[in-house]
Structure 1
Amino acid sequence: MRFIHISDIHLGKTYRTSTGEAERYEDFFRCLAEIITDAIEAKVDFVLIGGDLFHVGQILPKTFAKTIETLQPLKEANIPCIAIEGNHDWIHRRDSISWMEALSQMGYIKLLRPSRTEEGGYSFDPFDEETAMGGHIEIGGVNIYGLGYIGAQAGSHVERICEAVTTENNLLLFHVGIWSYSPVEIGNMKLEEAHPLAEKFGYVALGHGHKPYVIKTPEGRPYAYNPGSPERVNFGEEKYDKGYYFVTYENGEFIPEFRNTSPRPMFVETIDLNGAENAEQALDMFNEQVANKVDTSDDDRKPLLELKLTGRVGFHPFELGRERLKAVLEELVDPLHVEIKNHLSLVSSAGEGESSKMSLEEIENEVLHELIKSGSEYQGREEELIRLSISLKKAVQKGNVDGDELLALLDAEGN
């Protein structure tokens, strides 16, 4: 028996108001369509989606329609698509039907979601074709259980999850990250909390983190696999392998093979303009460094760029306007989308010496350092606590972060 394990597809993701909005929107559907083509050609027995099929829970109708169009060949090939909800798929109003539930009712996916007992335990009811709901489905002798996204305290649920499973030849779909492996700051569990899953499930199909990784027992046996996202979703993923797992199940053993996809090229680069005396000189330095660092010769698709400008310069940083920089970039690499972070600081003469105006980031770090240092119980931990403070700030700025998830971030940093 063979199946494909994918996750974190993020259909509907794009850059709003960007000139490349429409093309970027298509990237994610194109990526999923290519994987579905692979599944059909390989005649797999089923496809697993480990959550975050959509980028947001409240998608546009056109995104739903295009999702149906993309999944249609899989349905016509009679290949079941087993899915769970990730944190991006989840809608907070449970009195409304979600788009994932609608896909399940229409037969494009089989959405797995457990029920809960009065005592707080888990119950994985068999999947009901009429209601298109359930927590467990059996295909070819493999018992597939689906959990979805639990949240910040997922690790504390593992014992109850295992207690609810009494079958053999088990597979678990679980939208959760593992600390130290997952680059995501929220929705993770500790490594030691995950290990009991290996005693109950031969294959744990993870999702959530966009970077692929494999979890092993303390004895070195692999049991949990995170494929990451098949397309580059956010800046910071430019160096990650992108793909999915093609898994063969024979003689009671799961044998996964990671297969690469072809995501859009992405570059995150620091451009050092230190010492530039005027905007024209800075533009020349910018041009030279971008030409050296952003090599698109092996891919004809327009790249995604994030550029951070650093250095102390002899002109006001605002003189180096974004439009001037974008004009240079269009001529050099013609990016689909670019984000420019200006961290330049102005150096001005002051008598015989020089006085430097700090960047906003430097001011923020200095203020935090002084505040933390003023508390005697925190002395010696300044850098650690500054890093934690900034992580918390970034998590809050991203939105959709609840109190439990922030507490989990504190707990993880503290350990």
Structure 2
Amino acid sequence: MYFIHTADIHLGKTYRNSPSEIERYEDFFRCLAGIVKNALKDQVNFVLIGGDLFHTGQILPKTFAKTIETLQPLKEAGIPCIAIEGNHDWIHRRDNISWMEALSEMGYIRLLRPSRTEDGGYFFDPFDDVTGMGGHIEIGGINIYGLGYIGAQAGNHVERICNAVTTKNNLLLFHVGIWKYSPVEIGNMKLEEAHPLAEKFSYVALGHGHKPYVIETPEGRAYAYNPGAPERVNFGEEKYDKGYYFVTIDDGRFSPEFRPTNPRPMLVEVINLEGAENADDALNLFRDQVKEKLARLADERAPLLELKLAGRIGFHPFELGRDRLRLALEEFASLLHIEIKNHLSMVAKTEGEEVVKKSLTEIEKDVLQDLVGAHTKYKDREEELTRLSLAIRDLVLKGDVDDEELLGLIPEED
């Protein structure tokens, strides 16, 4: 038997109110369409999606329609697409049917979601094709269990998950990350908390973190796999391999092969403007360095570019505004999307001595870290919570997040 394990597709992701909005929106559908095409070519028995099929739980109707169009070839070929909900898919207001539930009712995916018992345990009901609901499905003798995003207490649920499973030849689809390999995510668990899963499941199909990694037992047996996101979703992912797992099952043994995808080129670069005495000199340094860095790209597609301006300068950083820098870039570069972060520090001279004034970014971070640290409950977590707060601020200012996604960042209680 053969199957594909992918996760974190993030359909619907784009840059709102940007000239590149449509092209970036299409990137994620092209990526999923390529995986579907390969599933048909390789005649797999099923496809697994380990959560975050969508970028947000409240998608546009056109995104839903395009998702159906993209998944249609799997449905026509009779290849089950088995999915779970990630933190991005989840709708926190449960008074309406979710888009994931609608896809499952229509037969484009089999959405796995377990029931809970009165004492807090799990019950994996058999999947019902009529209702499109259930927590367990059997294909060719492989028992597939699904558990979506359950928040910051995921590690405490492992024992209950294992206790609910009584079958053999088991596979678990689970939207959770491991701190050791994915430290920037929320809703992860510790490595040692995951190990009991290896006793019940021959293959644990993870999602959540966008970087691929493999988890082994203390004895060195691999049992859990995270393929990462097949397209580059956020800046910082330019250094990760991008792809999915093609898995062969032979005599009960799972043999995964990581297959690369073709994500849009992404660059995150530091532009050093150290020593520039005026804005014109800094602009020339800026042009020269960006040209050099873009020349290294072999991909002809317009890249995603994040630039971090660094160095001590002899003029106020506001003179080098983002609009002026973007106009300079348009003279020689074709970019899909550009983000510029100003970390410049101004050097002022006072009676012959140089005084370095902190950048706005440094001041913001210091003030917020002091405010967080003033509360005894958050001692020793100042840096983590400051980073999270600033990340939320940046997402809101960019308009790249909605209320459902922000709620998904809040850790849930057990």
Greater mean alpha carbon deviation, residues 346-355 or residues 105-114: 346-355
2:407 is the counterpart of 1:400: yes
Maintained 8 Å contact 1:205/1:226: yes
Map of 1:85 onto structure 2:
85
Q: Percent identity?
A: 71
Shift of 1:220: 0.3
**Structure-2 separation of matches of 1:296 and 1:21:** 25
**Structure-2 separation of matches of 1:170 and 1:401:** 29
Once the two structures are superposed, residues 216-248 of structure 1 have per-residue CA deviations (whole angstroms, 9 ceiling, x without a partner) of 000000000000000000001010000000000
Shift of 1:400: 2.4
1:391 to 387, 394, 400: 387
**Structure-1 separation of matches of 2:227 and 2:332:** 34
Shift of 1:386: 4.6
**Structure-2 separation of matches of 1:385 and 1:187:** 16
Maintained 8 Å contact 2:28/2:231: yes
Counterparts of residues 10-89 of structure 1 (less than 5 Å) = 10-89=10-89
**Structure-1 separation of matches of 2:301 and 2:85:** 31
Shift of 1:292: 2.0
Q: Which amino acid aligns with 1:8?
A: D
**What do you get for the CA RMSD once the two structures are aligned?**
2.3
In structure 1, stretches of 5+ residues that fail to align are: 409-415
Shift of 1:95: 1.8
**Structure-2 separation of matches of 1:344 and 1:221:** 48
Q: Which amino acid aligns with 1:7?
A: A
Once the two structures are superposed, residues 297-317 of structure 1 have per-residue CA deviations (whole angstroms, 9 ceiling, x without a partner) of 411100000001111211221
Greater mean alpha carbon deviation, residues 163-172 or residues 333-342: 333-342
Maintained 8 Å contact 1:267/1:304: yes
Map of 1:205 onto structure 2:
205
What secondary structure is seen at the aligned counterpart in 1 of 2:173? strand
2:317 is the counterpart of 1:317: yes
What secondary structure is seen at the aligned counterpart in 2 of 1:85? coil
Maintained 8 Å contact 1:247/1:256: yes
TM-score, length of structure 1 as denominator length? 0.92
**Structure-1 separation of matches of 2:373 and 2:36:** 55
Maintained 8 Å contact 1:213/1:226: yes
Counterparts of residues 196-345 of structure 1 (less than 5 Å) = 196-295=196-295, 297-345=297-345
Higher relative contact order (CA 8 A, sep 6+): 2
Maintained 8 Å contact 1:213/1:227: yes
Instruction: Flag the 1:133–1:364 CA change in 2: closer, same or farther, 3 A.
Output: same
What number of residue pairs does the alignment pair up? 403
**Structure-1 separation of matches of 2:326 and 2:117:** 57
Instruction: Flag the 1:385–1:164 CA change in 2: closer, same or farther, 3 A.
Output: closer
Maintained 8 Å contact 2:247/2:257: yes
Greater mean alpha carbon deviation, residues 281-290 or residues 24-33: 281-290
Once the two structures are superposed, residues 360-407 of structure 1 have per-residue CA deviations (whole angstroms, 9 ceiling, x without a partner) of 2333455578789999x99xxx9x6552342342365453256535x9
TM-score, length of structure 2 as denominator length? 0.92
**Structure-2 separation of matches of 1:371 and 1:114:** 41
Runs (4+) of structure 1 exceeding 3 A deviation are: 364-375, 394-398, 401-405
**Structure-1 separation of matches of 2:142 and 2:272:** 55
Maintained 8 Å contact 2:186/2:411: no
